[in-house]
Structure 1
Amino acid sequence: MPDSNVLSQGIEFYNQKKYSDALTFFLALSSETGADSLDVAYYLGLCYAKLSRYEDSLLYLEQVVTAGKDEERVLQCRLILAVIYSLSGRKRLAAFELNKLLEAEYKPASVYAALAFVAWEQSDTKKCLDYYEKSLDADPENVTALNGMGYVLACEDKDLTKALSFCKKAVKASPNSAACLDSLGWVYYKLGLYDDAKKYLEMAEAIDGNSEEIANHIKSVVLDGDKR
């Protein structure tokens, strides 16, 4: 009989955001421990996703979805799969998974925000903004939608005052998010407020120093700021 405590150390690592430690733990589990293989696959998929090892993540999350034993877990995995499919350019698969989630009425705010991201990646700005609006209609405090809406409006030079409001709310809700700080900095850049832009973009870079997008945004601010 499986021991319910077998996975506890790995789950604790995961909850503490020690994803590499959690991954090492779950990979080291042997079948002799009695751990449920789908439980292990689920956590391996989550760990790989958090570590941006998306192809490895797909391998395990797809196992969970295919098995279909835990409906809530399957729906959660479908959402993660959709994001990974989108990031890896498999937009049709992403849209398929997201539409399945909408049919199941699973976390509509998150699903609409993910659909907005897919639309943005497909250069369909109108559809992107429409989806972000639907996400915020479902949950006005959804950080992903607030951040995404503000960023897209800024990129399109549309209603920068509203963009600033969205991004400020996102940063207030998630002050340590590099993505949110980057978006707020980008809005300030679009408003011509270069000192504020640099401040938030550098905060974003301090959190995520590997982001090319953040680095490019900082370059834009520095170049245009020097022209003043």
Structure 2
Amino acid sequence: MSKAGSEYRAGDYESAVATLAAATVDENDYLDLAYLLGLCYARLHRFDEALLYLEQVVTQGEGDARALQCRLTLAYVYAATGRSKLAEYELTKLMESSLETPQVYSALGHATWKQGRLDEGLSWYSKALKLDPENPTALNGYGYLLACAGKDLDKAVSCCRKALNSDPGNPVYADSLGWVYLKLGRLPEAGSYLRAAAKTLHDNDELQEHLAAFEKAVPLR
């Protein structure tokens, strides 16, 4: 188990999975194995396998720190697989356990927006920024949703630019900034950031919608 833990912390998730698969553990240590396997599979985007183990830990270890981490990872997995309502459920359970962090609030912002509750999403991102004004995930999400709502676009640019400045290679942040510029009608900047994002986010539906909107807007200028 210790070897697998070291491999996980080093980012070698495939090796950690292989080590855990070969491990023999007794009943008392099984949740430790399930916990680490669930995290590894989530990192590898093998979401069905991640759910199998994460849900076991949450069910059997209710309330401890390990279960809380698994709930947060479950929320990520559900969001990544389009199950925003389930993601919101897990995040709400975390709040009931007094885990109120910028990460949880930002994830709730995304989950509620995905369910069509844009104003509620903005509220959650705003709460995240009150806890951590420099949090890049919250900055990006808040700026993006402001643009979606057509509200305070100057603020939206500022938020998305700060997020991208903190992580210049992040294609999601580049897409958000491009989207805001498109909403402002600043097409050269919009095209630059959207095309940069497209180099990495090949199959992202939202980005494809943004690119289509950009291409539609260009002839009108």
**What TM-score, normalized by structure 1, do the two folds share?**
0.83
Aligned to 1:225: 218
TM-aligned CA distance change 1:123 to 1:48, over 3 Å: same
Indicate the residue corresponding to 1:41 in structure 2: 34
Query: Which residue, 172, 180, 183 being the options, matches 1:187?
Result: 180
Residues 170-205 of structure 1, C-alpha deviation per residue, up to 9 Å, x if partnerless? 111222222111101111111112221122122222
Unpaired runs of 5+ residues, structure 2, are: none
Alignment of structure 1 residues 1-228 onto 2, 5 Å: 5-8=2-5, 10-12=7-9, 15-16=10-11, 18-26=12-20, 28-31=21-24, 36-68=29-61, 71-88=64-81, 90-228=83-221
1:83 positional shift: 3.0
Alignment root-mean-square deviation, CA: 2.7
The count of residues paired between Structure 1 and Structure 2 equals 221
Instruction: Look up the equivalent residue of 1:102 and give its one-letter code.
Output: M
Name the amino acid aligned to 1:82: A
- 8 Å Cα contact 2:4-2:17 kept in structure 1: no
Work out the CA distance in 2 between the residues paired with 1:61 and 1:116. Answer: 23
Which stretch of structure 1 is more off in the superposition, 211-220 or 58-67?
211-220
In structure 1, how many angstroms separate the alpha carbons of the residues matched to 2:87 and 2:43?
18
SS in 2 for 1:6: helix
Is the CA contact (8 Å cut-off) linking 1:109 and 1:139 kept in structure 2? yes
Q: Which ranges in structure 1 are unaligned for 5 or more consecutive residues?
A: none
Do the aligned partners of residues 153 and 68 (structure 1) sit closer, same or farther apart at CA in structure 2, a change above 3 Å counting? same
Contact 1:176/1:207 (8 A) holds in 2: no
Amino acid at match of 1:112: Y
1:32 Cα deviation from its structure 2 partner: 7.2
Distance 1:29 1:203, change over 3 A: farther
TM-score by length of 2: 0.86
**AA partner of residue 203 (structure 2):** N
One-letter identity of the residue aligned with 2:7: G
Output the CA distance in 1 between the equivalents of 2:206 and 2:183: 15
3-state DSSP class of the match of 2:199?
Answer: helix
Give 3-state SS (helix, strand or coil) of 1:207's partner. coil
SS in 2 for 1:105: coil
Q: Percent sequence identity over matched residues?
A: 43
